[in-house]
Amino acid sequence: MVVPGSAVQEREFRGWLLEKLGQYLRRPPADIDISVPFAEYGIDSVAALSIFGDIEDGFGLYLEPTVAWDHPTVQSLARYLASESARSATGPLTQAPYGEPIGGNQAGGDPSDPRDTPGTAGWTRNTPGGGPR
């Protein structure tokens, strides 16, 4: 688990990803080439989403499923994760935690009603079914 507000370096993500892939593939991490696409190792979308869940749990980084397509190798994904980690450690919160409305009720109305929250239209990230409540 990473301390909130701390950035994780690319080499740490690379090592973590190699260990995790080694577990999934049942092979030593040293046998995994960081420049070979995950698909060539037989990592399917189900395994990728499981790894993303582990990343969220271990590092506090939420990843869209499309990240696996945009960063299909250990090398590319580790670089992306390090940049996201640095951004989240130093930048303002741009995404609400799981299940919480994004934004705030700046214009009055009922603060308990997310539909009254300006700029969100009642939308909550990761709401089952996605989209408005």
**Alpha carbons 34 and 69: distance in angstroms, whole number:** 15
pLDDT digit string, tens, across residues 57-102: 988 888 888 898 899 999 999 999 999 988 877 644 444 444 444 4
pLDDT digit string, tens, across residues 18-72: 999 999 999 999 999 999 999 999 988 888 889 999 999 988 888 888 898 899 9
pLDDT at residue 59 in the model: 86
Query: Are 117 and 84 part of one and the same domain?
Result: no
Whether this prediction's pTM lies above 0.75 is answered by no
Query: Are 78 and 125 part of one and the same domain?
Result: no
**Alpha carbons 107 and 68: distance in angstroms, whole number:** 39
Cα–chain-centroid distance for residue 107? 31
The CATH number of whichever domain residue 26 belongs to comes to 1.10.1200.10
